[in-house]
């Protein structure tokens, strides 16, 4: 989304210039400034013992017009996660081998992790990956696996693992930020990828996962 990105970088430039002025006028800077605009937060996973604050990733609730890139039959369906992470009436169903990739967004050192709500049918699984681009180097591009999950039995809604984000990035040397996309790949449980156990049941019923409420941790500890 070039327009949005352009607007974003314009805002960031203004923020940087404002900061530069502030630094000049004040005592020597001690810590590097965050490179991203921070969004409203909530302790979205507190009922699971996670006291961190989280912000919703772009389109991460799958409400309204979908902004994620979907392949392989992934589709927005009725029914929100029931964990209370973020409210709504929709989630993202992902049959085995489908993928869902978020819009680009900014992360900096204050965004160490992301986390989401998920449920699974029998033999479901996923890989949560991060695509990233160092904002100070046009040619730097990479992908890493942040977390994985497999199950033999179906499960209701549960929180995903706390998945590394900025803690695994090489941030830009100037603005300490990077442009990322989150990518969820519905892998099924490859330890049980044969159909002997459950017969020739449709893969869009077995092996699927459903995700919702994709949240980014902006590292504001109380």
Interface residues with Ca ion (CB under 5 A) are 61-62, 80, 88, 90, 212
Count of CA atoms in the C-beta half-sphere (13 A) of 25? 6
Cβ 215 to Ca ion, closest distance in Å? 11
Say how far apart CA 187 and CA 19 lie, in whole Å.
44
Cβ 84 to Ca ion, closest distance in Å? 11
Say how far apart CA 107 and CA 133 lie, in whole Å.
10
- Cβ nearer to Ca ion, comparing 128 with 214: 214
- Cβ nearer to Ca ion, comparing 98 with 179: 98
Cβ 69 to Ca ion, closest distance in Å? 18
Cβ 186 to Ca ion, closest distance in Å? 17
Name the helix (H) or strand (E) containing 3.
Answer: helix 2-25
Say how far apart CA 36 and CA 20 lie, in whole Å.
15
Say how far apart CA 156 and CA 120 lie, in whole Å.
7
User: Comparing C-alpha atoms, which of 100, 127, 130, 96 is closest to residue 209?
Assistant: 96
Count CB atoms within 10 A of the CB of residue 207.
Answer: 27
- Cβ nearer to Ca ion, comparing 76 with 129: 76
- Cβ nearer to Ca ion, comparing 5 with 90: 90
Characterize the bridge pairing of strands 75-78 and 69-71: unpaired
- Cβ nearer to Ca ion, comparing 6 with 82: 82
- Cβ nearer to Ca ion, comparing 86 with 98: 86
- Phi first, then psi, for residue 24 (nearest 5°) are -60, -40
Cβ 182 to Ca ion, closest distance in Å? 15
Cβ 62 to Ca ion, closest distance in Å? 5
């Amino acid at each position: 989304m070039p327009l949005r990105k352009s607007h974003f970088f314009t805002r960031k430039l203004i923020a940087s210039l404002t900061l530069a002025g502030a630094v000049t006028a004040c005592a020597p800077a001690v810590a590097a400034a965050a490179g991203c605009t921070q969004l409203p937060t909530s302790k979205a996973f507190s009922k699971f013992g996670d006291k961190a604050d989280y912000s919703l990733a772009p389109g991460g609730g799958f409400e309204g017009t979908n902004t994620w890139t979907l392949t392989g039959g992934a589709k927005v369906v009725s029914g929100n996660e029931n964990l209370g992470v973020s409210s709504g009436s929709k989630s993202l169903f992902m049959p085995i081998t489908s993928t869902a990739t978020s819009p680009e967004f900014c992360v900096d050192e204050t965004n160490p992790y992301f986390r989401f709500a998920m449920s699974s049918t029998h033999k479901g699984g996923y890989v949560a990956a991060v695509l990233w681009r160092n904002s100070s180097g046009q040619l730097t591009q990479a992908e890493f696996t942040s977390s994985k999950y497999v199950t033999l039995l179906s499960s209701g809604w549960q929180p995903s693992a706390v998945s590394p984000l900025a803690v695994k990035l090489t941030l830009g040397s100037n603005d300490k930020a990077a442009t990322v996309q989150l990518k969820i790949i519905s892998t099924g449980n490859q330890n049980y990828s044969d159909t002997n156990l459950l017969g020739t049941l449709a893969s869009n019923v077995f092996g699927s996962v459903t995700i919702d409420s994709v949240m980014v941790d902006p590292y504001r500890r109380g």
